[in-house]
Amino acid sequence: MLALANDTVSVHASVPDVVPDADAAAVVVAPIRMGGSMRGKVLEALGDRALDFRAMWAISNLFRSAAAVRRHMEAKVLADDRVSWTSFVGLWVLWVWGELGANAFADAVGISRPTATGVLRTLGSRGWVARRPDPDDRRSVLVSLTPDGRAKIEALFPRFNAEETAIAGVLDPLDQERLAGMLRSLAAATGS
């Protein structure tokens, strides 16, 4: 559970992710499955610098959480179908948006164009994505789901969403809404 009081964020969990440093009025990363005092090491290495430890904590925990959720979803939901996270997102994008140019596909999935080429090649080899020349631009291709690709994402997504529900369920509905809003604000701050 997240709680915000007096500009201090506290997380109530079985393994604490952060500890407040009253002397520096900052929040630093706490030891997590590591020997010794990570807090002490962080302060020893960085404490003499004018750094924003709260911002460091927020972004590093965002990254750790995103990576943990991604690994969990790949192992629990996607592994049996041999679908990577990126391939799943690609299937989902084409399911929701329909046919797209390859560049628009890359942008929507959040990957580089060369990576998109590889993802589309993999999805195509599995019979889930079809390509056709773009009639408005001979240098481009349009990509869309095949009937097998649509069937795959329609089978995967309910299982994926059930696991999303289980993970997000540690937060009450209001905290889920707040978290979603905070994450949208962070994405907007990067220009995304």
pLDDT tens digits for 49-102?
A: 888 878 887 898 899 999 999 999 999 999 999 999 999 999 999 999 999 999
Which residues are registered as beta bridge partners of 4? 9
**Does 20 have pLDDT greater than 70?**
no
CATH architecture assigned to 75-192: Orthogonal Bundle (1.10)
pTM greater than 0.85:
no
Residues contacting residue 140 through CB under 8 Å, at least 6 positions apart? 101, 102, 103, 133, 134
**Does 13 have pLDDT greater than 50?**
no
Provide the residue ranges of all domains of the chain, joining segments of one domain with +.
Answer: 1-50, 75-192
What are residue 36's phi and psi, to 5 degrees?
A: 75, -175
**Does 150 have pLDDT greater than 90?**
yes
Handedness of CA 102, 105, 107, 112 (dihedral sign): negative
